[in-house]
Structure 1
Amino acid sequence: MHLFNALRQTLFVAVAGTVVLSSCKRDPDVTPSTAATTTPTTSTSTSTNQTVNDWILGNMSYYYYWNDKIPANPDKTLSPDQFFDSILYKYNATSNPNGDRFSWIQQSADELKASLSGESKTTGMEFKLYLRSSGSTDVIGSVLYVYPGSPADKAGIKRGDVFSKVNGTGLTTTNYSTLLYGDGDTKTYTLAEVQSTGIVDTNNTKSVTAVVLQEDPVFMDSVYTFGAKKIGYVVYNQFVPGPNGSSVATYDQKLDAIFGKFKAKGVNELILDFRYNPGGYVSSATALGGLIAKGIGTKSVFVRKEWNSTVTPALEKQYGTDFFYDYLTQKANNIGDNLSQVYVLTTSGTASASELVINGLRPYFGQKVYTIGTTSYGKNVGSITISDNTGKIKWGMQPIVSKSFNKDNESNYSTGFVPKVEVREPLNMRPLGDVTERMLSEAIFQISGTRTARRGADESTIRTVIGSSIERKAGGSNMFFTVDKALPAAGL
């Protein structure tokens, strides 16, 4: 693939999912998967380490957004994952709040690429983990959603189910990672019930076996009518244009068709449900923006990408200034002219390309793109996938290479978007799309003034969140490349 085609299709942005580095994991206890054909890090020879590390350093010195912060003499005898970690410009909430939280490396570039396109080995359910009670070390899981047709779906697991044990062992802060993500494809979940007295264990169990699954990120859509308000609603869980390995943008086309239906039905209000969307392709984000933004003209900017001072002159010389911009395209199914505002449902799992859409749309609606839920994750930077397609080096990297801005040059969401109305999801959740579901109900009220459900207070016990399976997901990338000879990386 020519570098321009690989790069210009637009930058990938996603939350670090199945990562090797504890420094950039959102769940430092998660054990990464590795390809069976790769050599374990602990047994890699020093000479092999140095070869891989030379490759890592060469690429990072050229493309990494903070390449001027890479140590002068890093230790190349370290294992590749440790070496990669050692050269990052690491985030620290106090001393370096603008540092890197997101770059990662994996031992198998093939697995990395598959996961970035929504394909992974999974039971088919996403969940959030909480401390069972304040001060406890016991952990419970709450099912957020289940992929249709997946093993979890076939086993009868549904959104709102709560589980307290895996394979007969109670989840705790010290064992949950091993039980949930450790060896063995078959897991047996023991369900619990949410009662007025607290969480009560049951004898009800569900056994599921993980399979390699391609998730359709366009989860559901609906149109609701409240008086003169025609509200379009879409649940979109990952910015991926099409299935892994496919050249057809199946999922982008599906979104286009949904907005065609919205337009035909006269939709004049829009709710985007990004609460479980960790990011993905900017090309898909821009395609979605083209269906929503008002007043799209020639070269209407959706995203501007700022790269480091080393690579920027070379990119600009070779490809021109348009390389750094993603422009909106007016689409036949655009509904922007009928909209005065947009509502987006968010949680801490809403990240990257999801946040880029919020930021990118705001200038087109006079900043009236509102969020409901909880504060989003805060990722205003983008990454690329770098692999060695000679086959000699099996590792794959996903380093941060750029920072994202909208048409008004705004990029001030590194701490996340704070919601207009804070709404927390309860443990016993209503189905997605149910107008009495807490977050959707609040958005409908904000739009129409109609309460579809009693606005109850959030649970009296605010449970401590300790992790989520969403944090292990990646988004998608169309930037798999080796270094182009026209843009040589140092040391290669």
Structure 2
Amino acid sequence: MKKLYPLIILSLFTIIISACKKSPNIITPNSPGTTLDKIKDSIYLYAKEDYLWNSALPTYANFQPRTYTNASDLTALASEMNALSQYAINPATSLPYEYYANDPGAAKYSFIDDGTETAALNGTKGDYGFDLQYNLVNDLRIEYVYPASPAGLAGIKRGYRIISINNNTNISYDAQGYGTGTGVNLAYVNNAIFNSSTVTMTLERQDSTTFSATLNIANYTVNPVLKDTILNQGNGHIVGYLVFNSFTTDAIADPVLDAAFSDFASNGVTDLVVDLRYNGGGYVSTAEHLDNLIVPASKSGKLMYNTFYNSNLVSGKDPLLSHQWRTGTNGDYNYGQLDFSVAGNVVNFSKIGTLNVGRVFFIITGNTASASELTINNLRPEMDVEFVGETSYGKPVGFFDIDINKYIMYTPEFYVENSSGQGGYYAGFTPGTTDYPGVKDIDDLTRDFGDPTEGLLADVLSYVNTGTYAVNKPAVQSLKSAARTFALATGNRINMHPQKPKFTGMIIKHNSLIDKLKIKKN
């Protein structure tokens, strides 16, 4: 039986909150409608209360959330989220804060999850276990592989070239100005890889040998550390290299991070390289853990970063969010114990482990987002931070999960600044500029992670060994077409990826907040 809770007044509307297990946490004006109508209402009302830029949103009557429709429920809700994201204007650009250059009108940050991305961040994925990207318009490469996935078990590795998909060799990039045609080939690749349950590929290794692999979608456990290795450069330079691909939960990420950094410390690593080129973010608690592994011991106890929420949350004018957390799966909770103030959310460094380096190189691309950028930004005032690669995604804001029926709503509720007050990096970090020292160079998809000849790692090793970045590497540069150079120069690098990033975020889980009895990243 559906249980109705006492009425809560929000603005001009009377809100009904349902605790039915089949339809939890739906809030809606007291009017008839389908479950989907009420979910649409809930998205709007939660945003109006808790969204970081909530003051820019129109009234319910003007926005009319129930008018957003599409081919499926999820795409209809995504359309609503996209619309909500376009109201708040960044005065620095005169464009929406959530403006996404590669898909104007789509939300850069906000999204509705059907549980897929949340499950992945909690350590379980159900797919082939790899991603892919075009190196050139006729050169499709494996971007990365999770070892325990179907692709990993089939022996597929980063840098392998895809020759055919389901016996079709017509897979060149032919869309958005980088080739010719109507985009049919790109659509074929996208559907064959991301919208299927089985796929057969022929691949070419770096030694020019080929093999075929048939993959079936399966569930597997994510190991977010794709590679960790030590590269002894001589002359006292011992480089520790780590590829970290997702800020999964602490339970999954912390043990593998700790093991890698313990190995670095025991082997006397002098220079640290953290490769976040495809890391779209995740839990802020994991970002803090990584920062504490990297930061010099002398900085322990110093401010790491501050968090800022909207005035509703700070002043306690958030009955909807409060009610959800009191009546959700976490049991009763005293709303008065929540603290959204800046002072109540101070996070300080607390050194973990014994690795003690004064400089860290971060390898980044347009897929480096949110919790990855938070990790980097936190360290900028504390040590020499070098940026190598392409401009990052640009997401100085984060969110917590809001459960609505069978969906999870993610929309920015807070922004962050480091101990020097540096934040607001909506345009991303551009390597080799005044604020972000290092070198701008294109991702080298032809080599595996940890290969000293891989373009971006080679840039780092050049600096370690000579004190200068040398990007004139003929073997790598010969593979960089005019299209890829143009894409980098115009900021459209992401367009050569079959899909936009699936996830970009830094998440505070609300059950963690409740456990702590305050809003504090743990």
When normalised by structure 2's length, the TM-score is 0.71
> Which residue is equivalent to 1:34?
none
> Which residue is equivalent to 2:390?
374
Does 1:326 pair with 2:347? yes
Cα 1:442–1:104 shift into 2, 3 Å: same
Cα 1:386–1:268 shift into 2, 3 Å: same
From 65, 71, 80, give the equivalent of 2:58.
71
Kindly indicate whether the alpha-carbon contact (under 8 Å) linking 2:121 and 2:247 is maintained by their aligned counterparts in 1: no
> Which residue is equivalent to 2:186?
173
Tell me, in whole angstroms, the C-alpha distance in 2 between the residues paired with 1:480 and 1:387: 10
Tell me, in whole angstroms, the C-alpha distance in 2 between the residues paired with 1:405 and 1:345: 21
Tell me, in whole angstroms, the C-alpha distance in 1 between the residues paired with 2:362 and 2:52: 29
Q: Using the TM superposition, give the Cα deviation of residue 402 of structure 1 relative to its aligned residue in structure 2, in angstroms.
A: 1.1
Moved more, 473-482 or 211-220: 473-482
Q: Using the TM superposition, give the Cα deviation of residue 397 of structure 1 relative to its aligned residue in structure 2, in angstroms.
A: 0.5
> Which residue is equivalent to 2:155?
156
Cα 1:90–1:481 shift into 2, 3 Å: farther
> Which residue is equivalent to 1:424?
442
1:146-295 paired onto structure 2 within 5 Å: 146-169=145-168, 170-171=170-171, 172-182=185-195, 184-191=196-203, 205-225=212-232, 226-242=234-250, 249-295=251-297
Q: Using the TM superposition, give the Cα deviation of residue 280 of structure 1 relative to its aligned residue in structure 2, in angstroms.
A: 1.2
Cα 1:204–1:234 shift into 2, 3 Å: closer
Cα 1:227–1:132 shift into 2, 3 Å: same
> Which residue is equivalent to 1:343?
361
Cα 1:220–1:328 shift into 2, 3 Å: same
From 59, 83, 86, give the equivalent of 2:83.
86
Q: Using the TM superposition, give the Cα deviation of residue 299 of structure 1 relative to its aligned residue in structure 2, in angstroms.
A: 4.4
**How big is each residue's C-alpha offset from its partner over 1:278-305, in whole Å with a ceiling of 9 and x where there is no partner?**
1111111111111122355574222211
Kindly indicate whether the alpha-carbon contact (under 8 Å) linking 2:111 and 2:410 is maintained by their aligned counterparts in 1: yes
**How big is each residue's C-alpha offset from its partner over 1:459-478, in whole Å with a ceiling of 9 and x where there is no partner?**
35144542256812466745
Q: Using the TM superposition, give the Cα deviation of residue 396 of structure 1 relative to its aligned residue in structure 2, in angstroms.
A: 1.2
Moved more, 119-128 or 471-480: 471-480
- Other structure's SS at 2:65 match: coil
Moved more, 472-481 or 303-312: 472-481
Tell me, in whole angstroms, the C-alpha distance in 2 between the residues paired with 1:271 and 1:483: 32
- Other structure's SS at 2:290 match: helix
Does 1:59 pair with 2:46? yes
Tell me, in whole angstroms, the C-alpha distance in 2 between the residues paired with 1:127 and 1:47: 40
When normalised by structure 1's length, the TM-score is 0.75
- Other structure's SS at 1:175 match: helix
- Other structure's SS at 1:400 match: coil
- Other structure's SS at 2:373 match: helix
Tell me, in whole angstroms, the C-alpha distance in 2 between the residues paired with 1:162 and 1:349: 20
**How big is each residue's C-alpha offset from its partner over 1:381-440, in whole Å with a ceiling of 9 and x where there is no partner?**
11211114xxxx21210111111111101014221211222232344x222112222221
**How big is each residue's C-alpha offset from its partner over 1:441-470, in whole Å with a ceiling of 9 and x where there is no partner?**
221120122999983262351445422568
Tell me, in whole angstroms, the C-alpha distance in 2 between the residues paired with 1:401 and 1:209: 38
Tell me, in whole angstroms, the C-alpha distance in 2 between the residues paired with 1:454 and 1:96: 36
Cα 1:325–1:88 shift into 2, 3 Å: same
From 446, 453, 471, give the equivalent of 1:436.
453
Kindly indicate whether the alpha-carbon contact (under 8 Å) linking 1:116 and 1:476 is maintained by their aligned counterparts in 2: no
Tell me, in whole angstroms, the C-alpha distance in 2 between the residues paired with 1:131 and 1:90: 37
Tell me, in whole angstroms, the C-alpha distance in 1 between the residues paired with 2:504 and 2:472: 36
Cα 1:257–1:404 shift into 2, 3 Å: same
Does 1:461 pair with 2:461? no
- Other structure's SS at 2:423 match: coil
- Other structure's SS at 1:471 match: coil
Cα 1:157–1:259 shift into 2, 3 Å: closer
Kindly indicate whether the alpha-carbon contact (under 8 Å) linking 1:436 and 1:453 is maintained by their aligned counterparts in 2: no
Tell me, in whole angstroms, the C-alpha distance in 1 between the residues paired with 2:496 and 2:211: 24
From 353, 365, 372, give the equivalent of 2:371.
353
Q: Using the TM superposition, give the Cα deviation of residue 223 of structure 1 relative to its aligned residue in structure 2, in angstroms.
A: 2.0
Kindly indicate whether the alpha-carbon contact (under 8 Å) linking 1:223 and 1:231 is maintained by their aligned counterparts in 2: yes
Tell me, in whole angstroms, the C-alpha distance in 1 between the residues paired with 2:371 and 2:116: 21
Q: Using the TM superposition, give the Cα deviation of residue 237 of structure 1 relative to its aligned residue in structure 2, in angstroms.
A: 0.8
Kindly indicate whether the alpha-carbon contact (under 8 Å) linking 1:375 and 1:418 is maintained by their aligned counterparts in 2: yes
Cα 1:52–1:435 shift into 2, 3 Å: same
Q: Using the TM superposition, give the Cα deviation of residue 49 of structure 1 relative to its aligned residue in structure 2, in angstroms.
A: 2.8
Could you tell me which amino acid in structure 2 is paired with residue 218 of structure 1? V
Tell me, in whole angstroms, the C-alpha distance in 2 between the residues paired with 1:399 and 1:361: 26
Structure 2 spans left out of the alignment, 5+ residues: 1-21, 24-31, 70-75, 99-106, 172-184, 318-335, 432-437, 485-494, 518-522
Kindly indicate whether the alpha-carbon contact (under 8 Å) linking 1:378 and 1:415 is maintained by their aligned counterparts in 2: yes
**How big is each residue's C-alpha offset from its partner over 1:163-204, in whole Å with a ceiling of 9 and x where there is no partner?**
25422343313433322222x310112446899xxxx9x995
CA RMSD of aligned residues (A): 3.4
> Which residue is equivalent to 1:11?
none
**How big is each residue's C-alpha offset from its partner over 1:36-90, in whole Å with a ceiling of 9 and x where there is no partner?**
x99xxxxxx9432332123222321221111111121221323450333332235
- Other structure's SS at 1:148 match: coil
Tell me, in whole angstroms, the C-alpha distance in 1 between the residues paired with 2:221 and 2:483: 32
Q: Using the TM superposition, give the Cα deviation of residue 361 of structure 1 relative to its aligned residue in structure 2, in angstroms.
A: 0.3
> Which residue is equivalent to 1:394?
406
> Which residue is equivalent to 2:124?
119
Q: Using the TM superposition, give the Cα deviation of residue 152 of structure 1 relative to its aligned residue in structure 2, in angstroms.
A: 1.3
Could you tell me which amino acid in structure 2 is paired with residue 386 of structure 1? I
- Other structure's SS at 1:114 match: helix
Cα 1:264–1:131 shift into 2, 3 Å: closer
Kindly indicate whether the alpha-carbon contact (under 8 Å) linking 2:392 and 2:430 is maintained by their aligned counterparts in 1: yes
From 504, 509, 514, give the equivalent of 1:479.
509
> Which residue is equivalent to 1:6?
none
Moved more, 435-444 or 83-92: 83-92
Tell me, in whole angstroms, the C-alpha distance in 2 between the residues paired with 1:300 and 1:237: 27
Tell me, in whole angstroms, the C-alpha distance in 2 between the residues paired with 1:127 and 1:90: 33
Cα 1:375–1:83 shift into 2, 3 Å: closer
Tell me, in whole angstroms, the C-alpha distance in 2 between the residues paired with 1:151 and 1:47: 40
Structure 1 spans left out of the alignment, 5+ residues: 1-36, 39-44, 134-139, 243-248, 488-492
Q: Using the TM superposition, give the Cα deviation of residue 257 of structure 1 relative to its aligned residue in structure 2, in angstroms.
A: 2.7
> Which residue is equivalent to 1:33?
none
> Which residue is equivalent to 1:49?
36
Moved more, 454-463 or 284-293: 454-463
Could you tell me which amino acid in structure 2 is paired with residue 410 of structure 1? Q
